[in-house]
Amino acid sequence: MTAHPAPNARTDQNRNADTPTDPQIAARQKWMSVLARTSRARLEAQWSENHSSENWTHLREPQIGMVMVRARAGGTGQRFNLGEMTVTRCAVTLSDGTVGHSYVKGRDRIQAQYAALFDAVMLRDGSASDFIETLATEQAAAKRDHARKVAATKVDFFTLVRGDD
């Protein structure tokens, strides 16, 4: 596997502001992040319904491994290794040669495989755009619903003055 130079040389120094990437990469980052958060069942169902005629092969069989999660002391300072998380990765090739990749949290090989397949389809012709859009909307709605429940627990503490009034 060849290492391509980063389109924008990015380092940890861009700590709180990510370097803007080109729009194609930004779009791909978006759909990969949506796919990484979608269950295997959902991906599998969508694939068999709309893309089952695709011919494809594994470029890299789904593989389970780990990512060491890094953090910063105090949130902004020196980097440290917090602990690992399980991750599954996969790469597929469509019949026209388009290669799709996935890295998803957890150990679901099938989820990783479908995430890579949808990545490839999106790269080739964007033919899963509607699906990705639906998923993104659902994920945003779920996040908002949770954030509203959390907001209902916002309090105001009163400090009581003791003694003289």
Partner 1 sequence: MYVAVKGGERAINNAHKLLAEQRRGDKDIAEIETDQIEQQLSLSVTRVMAEGSLYDRDLAALAIKQGRGDLIEAIFLMRAYRTTLPRFAFSKPIKTAEMDVSRRISATFKDLPGGQILGPTFDYTHRLLDFTLMANGEAPTEAPSGEQPVDENMPRVLDDILNYEGLIQDEPVPVDENAPVADLTREPVKFPAGRDLRLQNLSRGDEGFVLALGYSTQRGYANSHAFVGEIRYGTVSVEIEPEELGFAIDIGDIELTECETVNKFKGSKTKLPQFTRGYGLVFGQNERKAISMALVDRAMRANEMGEQIMGPAQDSQFVMEHSDNVQSTGFVEHIKLPHYVDFQGELELVRRMRAEVEERLAKSEAENGTSQPEAAE
Residues in 43-62 that interact with partner 1 by CB under 8 A: none
- Nearest residue (CB) to partner 1, 45 versus 66: 66
Asked if residue 11 binds partner 1 (CB under 8 A), the reply is: yes
Shortest separation between residue 115's beta carbon and partner 1, angstroms: 10
Q: How many CB atoms lie within 10 A of CB 78?
A: 8
According to CB under 8 A, which one of 23, 55, 57, 154 is a site residue for partner 1?
154
Euclidean distance between CA atoms 72 and 69, whole angstroms: 10
The amino acid at residue 144 is R
According to CB under 8 A, which one of 15, 57, 97, 163 is a site residue for partner 1?
15
Q: What's 86-147 look like in SS3?
A: EEEEEEEEECCCCEEEEEEECCCHHHHHHHHHHHHHHHHHCCCHHHHHHHHHHHHHHHHHHH
According to CB under 8 A, which one of 48, 82, 125, 129 is a site residue for partner 1?
82
Tokens at 36, concatenated: 């990484």
- Nearest residue (CB) to partner 1, 13 versus 53: 13
According to CB under 8 A, which one of 20, 23, 77, 97 is a site residue for partner 1?
77
Tokens at 105, concatenated: 């949290």
x/- letters, 104..143, toward partner 1 (CB under 8 A): xxxx-----------------------------------x
Report whether 70 contacts 78 (CB < 8 A): no
- Nearest residue (CB) to partner 1, 50 versus 109: 109
